[in-house]
Amino acid sequence: MERWTGRVALVTGASVGIGAAVARALVQHGMKVVGCARSVDKIEKLAAECQSAGYPGTLIPYKCDLSNEEEILSMFSAIKTLHQGVDVCINNAGLARPEPLLSGRTEGWRTMIDVNVMAVSICTREAYQSMKERNIDDGHIININSMNGHSVVPQSVVHFYSATKYAVTALTEGLRQELREARTHIRATCISPGLVETGFAFKLHDNDPERAAATYESIRCLKAEDMANAVIYVLSAPPHVQIGDIQMRPTEQIS
């Protein structure tokens, strides 16, 4: 990780869960981390914790609604002005709404598309352009995917979410191919976890907190820190090694 010291990483959805754990880990390894979310209160608190812990990097909170392209473009412009540009882009932000295919609300589907697919694509494009204009040839774009992007489970509330994650699988491989066609050494990776103990289920089942809690109590789940460790592993790989996808589940998870 020494080669990333002092370089700039963008982590979307950095206020809680996987995003917060990844941001903390990158700061621990000496990176300048721009952590974005719709609300930055928790990121500001995390930044203060990182500073008081004496971590060598810094965490810069940035307020951004990823469902709004103008806000994303404004964020990349600010990063360019203040920090030259992005060297590592971690597309972590994602959400699921309980909207089945036969009865779901269009609004919920559109929200998932906007955040899980469109924001990932826009951030990826802007990160690549940032690298290209500065002749950065060793950058990395990491998409936090899901095992739902590799198999469809028989739970109607996550079928549309699964479709958005299948899109992330395709986008990551398409990105890898386009980066090769562009003759760069910028790498693309996705990390696909099973159950991770975060606030994810509580947002999915926001009308049924008992069901959400039961999701994490049935087995010993992955932790956000396990995901952060996977990100560090990916970034630590030698320049000639392209890690395409890490699929990781709790040992006790069945599907």
Which among 13, 17, 10 has a CA at the least distance from the CA of 60? 10
Question: Which whole-number Å values give the CA distances from 149 to 66, 77, 93, 177, 229, in the listed order?
Answer: 20, 31, 15, 19, 21
Distance, in Å, from the CA atom of 25 to the CA atom of 126, rounded to the nearest integer, reads 23
Query: Is 161 one of the catalytic residues?
Result: yes
Instruction: Give the CB-side neighbour count of residue 241, counting CA atoms within 13 A.
Output: 8
Provide the CA 4 distance to its chain's centre, in angstroms: 18
List the end-to-end C-alpha distance of the chain, in Å, as a whole number.
Answer: 33
Catalytic residue among 55, 161, 166, 233: 161
Q: Do 116 and 12 form a contact (C-beta atoms < 8 A)?
A: no
Helix (H) / strand (E) element for 193: namely strand 187-193
Characterize 208-227 residue by residue with b for buried, 16 or more Cβ atoms within 10 angstroms of its Cβ, and e for exposed: eeeebeebbeebebbbbebb
CB of 191 closer than 8 Å to CB of 142? yes
Spatial distance between the Cα atoms of 83 and 86, rounded to a whole number of angstroms: 8
Residue 82, SS3 per DSSP = helix
Q: What are phi and psi of 218, to 5 degrees?
A: -70, -35
As annotated, the active-site residues are 161
